[in-house]
A and B are shown apart, each in its own frame.
Chain A
Amino acid sequence: MSGALLRAEGLAKRFPLPRRGLAARGAVRAVEDVSFAIAEGEVLGLVGESGSGKSTIGRLVLRLIEPSAGRVVFEGCDITAATARELRALRRRMQMVFQDPYASLNPRRSVGEAIAEVLRLHGLAGRDRGRARVAELLAHVGLSPEDSGRLPRAFSGGQRQRIAIARALAVQPRLLVADEPVSALDVSVQAGILALLRGLRQELGLAMLFISHDLSVVEAMADRVMVLYLGRVMESGPVRAIFTAPAHPYTAALLSAAPGGAHKRGIPPLGGEIPSAADPPSGCVFRTRCPFALPDCAGDVPRLRAVAPGHDKACIRDDLVL
């Protein structure tokens, strides 16, 4: 663990709710007690449904939002305690790619300018060298250097995502946080972006925190996977273990619900909905939808326990065949 590129320890994020009358001010518990590590060149996949906290974790890792508890250590440096100046240097080492590339590109600026701006901002290239570097970056993501003069609207969704990736790569990061990077794209285009990201990882040894609700996408991308539900880790382990030998009922339910999924399990479909994160169930947060819940599940929050080396689950039941 000490050799990890990134370590998150006991991360929590609570968003305060507006005060209602005289009642105590409540909070949405978006993330509770989440710990993980990412090694150099490793891809950790985060899966979960809406409200699971996966995007919040992505933002906490880059300190785009402040944690309520816990800390993030990147290359030995505590990000959560970093000053604004230190943070700026750190952001050169970790970058983010979002679901909607259009929202992160200025519609009135050519893509070449958008990339050159990042280079200038971080003092990485002057005007002349900048142009050559922009061409190199565009080529790297499968676009042509001639594209640098065009505005974002001239590109398709997939091409815009390539531009966003080129811009993230401009600072030569060690870690990329990719938050649903292909969810807005047509399926015929998704695989190309995923192949690009896998290639970059191979070639540059880029580590990734890869966030997606799409299980087959995470299975293709990740070395290890963390399954989240209502802000807590349900299970984490090597990609193969999670997909072929899930140990937590929620993981098994997710695999079964995926249409056309290759890893369906014999678990009954989940009823009900994800409870409100402002008022999560006591004990195991999944128990209200779990087909195997026992009275004991309402007691303590189940600890993450090892079921195999590197494979943990937060479930008190060891008698389940999932």
Chain B
Amino acid sequence: MSARAAPLLAIEDLRVTFRTPAGDIAAVDGLSLSLAAGETLAVVGESGSGKSVTALSVLRLFGRGEQVETTGSVRFAPRDAPPTDLLRLAEPAMRRLRGAEIAIIFQDPSASLNPVFTVGEQIAEALRRHRRLGRAAASREAAAALRRVGLADPEARARAFPHQLSGGMRQRAMIAMAIACGPRLLIADEPTTALDVTIQAQIVALLKEIQAARGMGLMFITHDLALVGEVADRVAVMYAGQVVEEGVAAAVLAEPRHPYTRALLACRPARRYAEDGEDSILLRPIPGMPPRRGEAASAAGCRFAARCGFVVAECRAVPPSLRRVAPDRQARCIRAEELA
């Protein structure tokens, strides 16, 4: 994965600022990421890290009432056109890309499924809009899409309303809708967080299978570092609106170079069994709490300094930059080399 193809998506210096009566909140602060076709990039972080805001800004899905300022660039390579900066695209052109070339699925399928239309109608509607299919062809395609995501009896499922399906089936229906038009990029924002583990394993396998078959780029947003090892080629770890570490997923998990990544890996509970019954239980919380959205932006030095076990005086004085610390690895820490 080190020799990388021309990116499908290249985010450069993205800044997303919410203007609120209480002042500006920098939810994403200078984020750069890229994703190749056929690649899975996991974006990991705790609540308030800016990972979901990043996803929403790629698709420009902020609500009309929200006062949001987005700067930087989000270059996307559509199927038959030169790469374009999504942040500067006119809304009608953006609307043509959404769903057709870039799709998103959420943790809660009810956010994207309309409760008053059947699942089949909703998929058919997208197909008619983006692929200009006729009514009959669209509904045949909708059933085919439901079959592709592993739903038994797809014709009957197509006639069902979202509330008539189980959580796992709704998530499959949402994936069917997202991939129906054959997007080049799928953004999955915590797609399995609300699901049971056995269903989560099914959905992850399904996403990987679809991706492999179509060479689709997948941006997988999650709070669960353990899941990263199972889905991602690359990973970007976010903290307080910034990427703090980025690299090949397996390598980052095996040898984290940023203290936050390291602490996040270590805080999963673990038990070591002992023959005498005195098992050791490893419970290592990260002291303090993750900063709320925008809260850390005013800090003078490193945003993680207050919770970091490796902090030195310099960390509190100068904000560290994201830099190459090893081949194919970036970290935002002045002591990254010592963590090797």
Measured CB to CB, the residues of A under 8 A from B are 49-50, 156, 158-159, 186-192, 194-195, 198, 213, 215-217, 219-221, 239-240, 243-244, 253-254, 256-262, 269-271, 273-274, 289
Contact = CB atoms under 8 A, between A and B. Distances in A.
Given A156-B289, A259-B226, A194 B283 contact: yes
Nearest to A260: B226
B198 A257 contact: yes
Interface string B232-245: 00000000000000
B286 A220 contact: no
B210 to A, nearest CB: 16
A261 B204 CA distance: 15
Contacts of B283: 191-192, 194-195, 198, 220
Main secondary structure on chain A at its contact with chain B? Answer: helix
Given A259-B197, A260-B226, 15 more contacts: A186-B223, A186-B290, A187-B223, A187-B264, A188-B286, A190-B269, A191-B269, A191-B283, A194-B283, A219-B269, A240-B273, A259-B230, A260-B225, A269-B205, A273-B169
B230 A270 contact: no
A100 B281 CA distance: 25
A266 to B, nearest CB: 14
Contact of A213 (B196, B229, B281, B282): B196
A191 B197 contact: no
B68 interface: no
A29 to B, nearest CB: 17
Contacts of B6: none
A257 B289 CA distance: 29
Contacts of A271: 202
Contacts of A260: 225-227, 229-230, 268
B285 interface: yes
Interface in B53-89: none
A191 B284 contact: yes
B166 interface: yes
A213 B199 CA distance: 13
A270 B279 CA distance: 31
Interface string B141-167: 000000000000000000000000011
B294 to A, nearest CB: 16
A269 B198 contact: yes
B267 interface: yes
Contacts of A270: 198, 201-202
Find the residue from B201, B229, B281, B283 having the highest chain A CB count within 10 A: B283
A253 B197 CA distance: 10
Contacts of B47: 186
A215 B271 CA distance: 11
Contacts of A195: 283, 285
Contacts of B32: none
Given A187-B264, A269-B205, A49 B284 contact: no
A231 to B, nearest CB: 15
28 contacts: A49-B199, A187-B223, A187-B267, A188-B264, A188-B285, A188-B290, A189-B285, A189-B286, A191-B267, A191-B285, A195-B283, A198-B281, A213-B196, A217-B269, A220-B269, A220-B270, A220-B282, A221-B269, A240-B279, A253-B198, A259-B201, A260-B225, A260-B226, A260-B227, A270-B201, A273-B168, A274-B196, A289-B198
Contact of A259 (B196, B224, B284, B289): B224
Contacts of B230: 259-260
B201 A257 contact: yes
Find the residue from A187, A191, A262 having the highest chain B CB count within 10 A: A187
Nearest to A199: B283
B269 A269 contact: no
A259 B264 contact: no
B62 to A, nearest CB: 24
B190 interface: no
Contacts of A49: 196-199
Contacts of B273: 240, 244
Contacts of A240: 273, 279
Nearest to B165: A273
Interface string B278-310: 010111111001100000000000000001000
